[in-house]
Structure 1
Amino acid sequence: MSTGTTPRTAPEPKDRSGPEERPGRRAPHFPSAFSVLVAVTVTVWGLTFVVPAGRYDTKDGAPVPDTYHAVHLTTGFAGRLKDLFLSPVNGLYGVTNAGSGLTAPGGDGAFSGAAGVFLFVLAVGAFITVTLRTGALTTGVARLAERLRGHRTLLLVVLMALFSLGGTTYGMAEETLGFYGLMVPMVLKLGYDRMVGATVIMVGAGVGTLASTVNPFATGVASDSAGIGTGDGIVLRLLMWGTLTALAAWYLVRYANRVQKDPGRSLVEELPEDEELRRQEAAAEPLTVRQRVVLGLFAATFLFMIFAVIPWAGLGIDFLPTPGWYFPELAALFIVAAVAVGLFAGLGEKGTAEAVVAGAGDFIGAAMIIMLARGVTIIMNNASITDTILHTLHSVVSGTSSGVFTVLMFLVNLPLAFFVPSSSGHAALAMPILAPLADFAGVSRAMVVTAYQSASGWINLITPTSAVVMGGLALAKVRYDRYLRFMAPLMGMLLIAVTGFMVLGAAFG
């Protein structure tokens, strides 16, 4: 992807996806998540020379309140410089020595790296890419849209629910970009505008991600960093997902019906090609038997993942077994499923292998961000400043009610979500510090995870640093300022609803 612009040699139409760029002038560019995390790593390393070292006593892995005490470090400048140099490696497979409490590659002790999460992310990427290459997902959505064309309102609700389901289960994001070419012409034929086509996808998947239930890139990484299971807190998150998806669908349908009755109330301008798109007739290709089975395997894999991570016994459902699967087993599940889907769909040995490798490659960025973020945590732990920061934050929130505490956790994560738009990186960076605060406040750590992912999902609905948002708007040919105007009331409603769920979750534990 080019980061600059090419001087124009002839007049060109304005780009409706954003502000017009001047010849020879670079477009404003926000640093990538990698750059932000590198800057955070160096900054945190510098703070280890300023922030006093201290520790809490622990019990069952959790800090014990009122036991914070200062400690003396023997690590010199050379040792800390080595920690900075090795931080990405420690973030992947560092081992913490029980005697010294220091983390380094190799040796004896407790594994502290994110290798399990790293491999899991690659496995999910491989599975999703293999499934997309079969064409089953795109064709399935097209067939569904064709069948429901006579029921416009129902069609919008069902489509938004499907994209939201993708968001809540596996963090559907970049995968949505392939659907704009299908959705925009379809909604135009139904009498709606391009905003409807863009937001049924973007808001649908975005709200699903905001209310992630088992999304491995948000809930999974955050739960791992918080030291809890992915299924912890899933009842509240399911309730959030259903409620927030219904709210977003109502808002979209209300706007769509208004535009259908009075096109002059549309927030986007009519383009010259829109009338031609409305006249085009193109029937969706029928699903083949193989594609139907692929869709079944795709759904079954995620359903089994949900079943395998939920602590059924803890929910009082004793007749169901609790497999207690974690990242190693789940990674194996998605690798096996990717191979099975590829071979069954007729990609062949070579095609399946290429799709698996390509999928892992597409997701290596997210995996490396998790690795870098975990490296920051290890730098802090080796310098014994994590508990010092925790002690300071505890002093700030001390005395607040559980409801106020969870709302504060949501608000604290909002600026973090903006500067680290990667949900995985945000989780790996923030959870080791914020999750233990829940122990002091008498709140479940799962509530801190829910607060984090809600903040991340809320910000990522509109952040201009997101390739998903800006890329989707460019494909739909919807201006960013018009999108913000459309989203403003919905963002306010979602903010109020999420705050209410934070208080509700804290009240009922």
Structure 2
Amino acid sequence: MEEKKKSGFQMPHTYVIIFFVVMLAAVLTYLIPAGTFETKEVTYESGGSEETRTVLIPESFSTEGQATEGTSLFEPGGGVGFLNYVFEGIVSGDKWGSAVGVIAFILIIGGAFGIIMRTRAIEEGILAVIDKTKGKEVLIIPIMFFLFSLGGAVFGMGEEAIAFAMILVPLVIALGYDAITGIMITYVATQIGFGTSWMNPFGVAIAQGVSDVPVLSGTPFRMAMWFVFTAVGTYFTWRYAQKIRKHPEKSLSYGSDDYFREDFKHTDLDVNFRTGHALVILTVAAGVAWIIWGVVEHAYYIPEIASQFFTIGLVAGIIGAIFKLNQMRVNDIAEGFAQGAKDLLPAALVVGMAKGIVIILGGDDPASPSVLNTILYSGGQLLDGVPEVFSAWLMFFFQSIFNFFVVSGSGQAALTMPLMAPLADIAGVTRQVAVLAFQLGDGLTNIIVPTSAALMGTLGAARLDWGTWFKFIIKFQLILFGLASFFIILAVFINFS
């Protein structure tokens, strides 16, 4: 039976999926001409300060000609060829974003938590929590889902979920749930908050600013929408978690969860939670508070947060060596960091490979010739002569698809909203509805697209392959799609502005 099972269909590895998507992108470069837009600077008020953004001019679109040379098989001198996509994807961008910045961010966070896990403070703390919360474990799901959704809504939480998953995934597995539950209450919750936010500085605020809509307007409607989406997400996760707790073997992550179960298998519940363990956990808690303060007060992003996590890991390692936690020595700090980074290396590589898709299509700069610009312009033309409700829904659908190529909320807003805002005027829907279509399309698909660095980092932390995650999350993604469609249609009928 086992032999038969092994010879049956297997979901392709994430690397294989990306390879074929890159191949498709390369074929498109032979079929679709590269296009360009002219750009301009726009300024808008956000949070009491003036922000500036470079956006495209919709009517300035032009193609380089009806034919295109397409992507070559290999390009020397740092050029873009089909076989160059891995290296070029990994080294693209800068320290503020995808890919190289996010890759460094993932590896440093992995290393920091490798040190923390080497102290065994997290495991000891988890077992202590289990001991203290017997009979109340189910409360962790609604409380955590609400808090992470709020984090996504208020300050655009995304990549930070990777670190929290490293703490909460082992906890929920020890409580009888699975890694999928841990991903739902951390990363998925943040993206529900991100996509339905009334004040997210990286999404809705930028989209409103570049669309000439008053920044943070329409708050009551969005707050009600956030509450509904968060309630639906919480209920879905709670029902799933209860089913898995009764029948753990039904979990798609049951096999990969063994990695975490091993930590608790041979440990008595009468744990030896010592002063050193408490100090490590306090260090992590204080560090997280420091990160939240930095993000909210000073707009800290990838470089600062990565350094903050490195500091947390370093202090935890020093405490571990001083208190001899898990027989730890100074050299174990370095070994723990190396092991932690190694564990997240596959997820980091996916980020670079996925960025290769956009590079093959010509990049996401509107002023440089690219197939992606042509796809963007063509998508906008679909709205011409379409009824209002369907036009608004098509905007949402297009933003959902386009998010596969440009996952960054701020990047997608700067690319698509200058095009969608005037198209909304022509279609007879308000620009506020166009912003709503953008934020729902951008945020909600972040939970499934393999090009999302934050998703792949979180899956890496949970030791879960993207193919397995897809099999689970597709049903919930369709529920969110239906719910988002309802709110788009409702917004058109009430003339949301």
TM over 0.5: yes
Aligned partner (choices 315, 321, 340) of residue 340 of structure 1:
315
- The alpha-carbon deviation at position 360 of structure 1 amounts to 1.7
Query: Which position in structure 1 is the counterpart of 2:382?
Result: 396
Query: Which position in structure 2 is the counterpart of 1:93?
Result: 91
Change in 2 beyond 3 A, CA 1:284/1:504: farther
Amino acid at match of 1:454: L
Query: Which position in structure 2 is the counterpart of 1:63?
Result: 56
Matched, 1:412 2:398: no
Alpha-carbon contact 1:93-1:111 (below 8 Å) kept: no
2:134 is paired with a residue whose SS is coil
Query: Which position in structure 2 is the counterpart of 1:140?
Result: 125
- The alpha-carbon deviation at position 458 of structure 1 amounts to 6.4
Query: Which position in structure 2 is the counterpart of 1:39?
Result: 20
Query: Which position in structure 2 is the counterpart of 1:182?
Result: 174
Tell me the distance in 2 between the aligned counterparts of 1:127 and 1:222: 29
Matched, 1:367 2:348: yes
- The alpha-carbon deviation at position 55 of structure 1 amounts to 0.9
Aligned partner (choices 407, 421, 429) of residue 427 of structure 1:
407
Query: What is the root-mean-square deviation in Å for CA atoms of aligned residues?
Result: 5.5
Query: Which position in structure 2 is the counterpart of 1:323?
Result: 298
More displaced 10-residue stretch of structure 1: 348-357 or 150-159: 150-159
Change in 2 beyond 3 A, CA 1:138/1:240: farther
More displaced 10-residue stretch of structure 1: 324-333 or 434-443: 434-443
2:59 is paired with a residue whose SS is coil
Alpha-carbon contact 1:309-1:323 (below 8 Å) kept: yes
Query: Which position in structure 2 is the counterpart of 1:105?
Result: none
Matched, 1:438 2:417: yes
Number of equivalent positions: 407
Amino acid at match of 2:282: G
Aligned partner (choices 164, 167, 170) of residue 161 of structure 2:
170
Aligned partner (choices 420, 427, 441) of residue 451 of structure 1:
441
* Per-residue deviation, residues 466-502 of structure 1 (Å, max 9, x unmatched): 98899889xxxxxx9xx97x997x7776555555677
Alpha-carbon contact 1:159-1:200 (below 8 Å) kept: no
- The alpha-carbon deviation at position 170 of structure 1 amounts to 1.4
* Per-residue deviation, residues 233-286 of structure 1 (Å, max 9, x unmatched): 9x99998877655545556667999999xx9xx8989xxxxxxxxxxx963525
Amino acid at match of 1:91: G
Tell me the distance in 2 between the aligned counterparts of 1:454 and 1:504: 18
* Per-residue deviation, residues 423-475 of structure 1 (Å, max 9, x unmatched): xx9837x9967862223223688974663442242689xx9xx98899889xx
Alpha-carbon contact 1:63-1:436 (below 8 Å) kept: yes
Tell me the distance in 2 between the aligned counterparts of 1:152 and 1:325: 33
Change in 2 beyond 3 A, CA 1:302/1:447: farther
Query: Which position in structure 1 is the counterpart of 2:47?
Result: none
More displaced 10-residue stretch of structure 1: 61-70 or 284-293: 284-293
Query: Which position in structure 1 is the counterpart of 2:336?
Result: 355
Tell me the distance in 2 between the aligned counterparts of 1:307 and 1:498: 31
1:437 is paired with a residue whose SS is helix
- The alpha-carbon deviation at position 197 of structure 1 amounts to 6.8
Matched-pair identity in %? 18
Alpha-carbon contact 2:148-2:190 (below 8 Å) kept: no
Alpha-carbon contact 2:34-2:68 (below 8 Å) kept: no
Aligned partner (choices 278, 295, 304) of residue 290 of structure 2:
304
Change in 2 beyond 3 A, CA 1:357/1:283: closer
Amino acid at match of 1:129: G
- The alpha-carbon deviation at position 303 of structure 1 amounts to 3.5
More displaced 10-residue stretch of structure 1: 399-408 or 80-89: 399-408
Tell me the distance in 1 between the aligned counterparts of 2:202 and 2:338: 22
1:28 is paired with a residue whose SS is coil
Amino acid at match of 2:175: M
Alpha-carbon contact 1:56-1:68 (below 8 Å) kept: yes
Tell me the distance in 1 between the aligned counterparts of 2:91 and 2:490: 38
Change in 2 beyond 3 A, CA 1:390/1:383: same
Amino acid at match of 2:100: A
Alpha-carbon contact 2:116-2:317 (below 8 Å) kept: yes
2:298 is paired with a residue whose SS is coil
Tell me the distance in 1 between the aligned counterparts of 2:249 and 2:447: 25
* Per-residue deviation, residues 337-359 of structure 1 (Å, max 9, x unmatched): 22222222334431111121222
2:175 is paired with a residue whose SS is helix
Tell me the distance in 1 between the aligned counterparts of 2:303 and 2:401: 31
Tell me the distance in 2 between the aligned counterparts of 1:259 and 1:367: 29
Unpaired runs of 5+ residues, structure 2, are 42-53, 210-214, 251-266, 322-327, 363-367, 422-430
Tell me the distance in 1 between the aligned counterparts of 2:172 and 2:97: 41
Aligned partner (choices 30, 35, 45) of residue 49 of structure 1:
30
- The alpha-carbon deviation at position 64 of structure 1 amounts to 0.7
Matched, 1:126 2:111: yes
1:325 is paired with a residue whose SS is coil
Matched, 1:149 2:124: no
Change in 2 beyond 3 A, CA 1:222/1:121: farther
Alpha-carbon contact 2:172-2:181 (below 8 Å) kept: no
* Per-residue deviation, residues 41-79 of structure 1 (Å, max 9, x unmatched): 232222222211221111133111111112259996797
Tell me the distance in 1 between the aligned counterparts of 2:86 and 2:244: 51
Alpha-carbon contact 2:166-2:462 (below 8 Å) kept: no
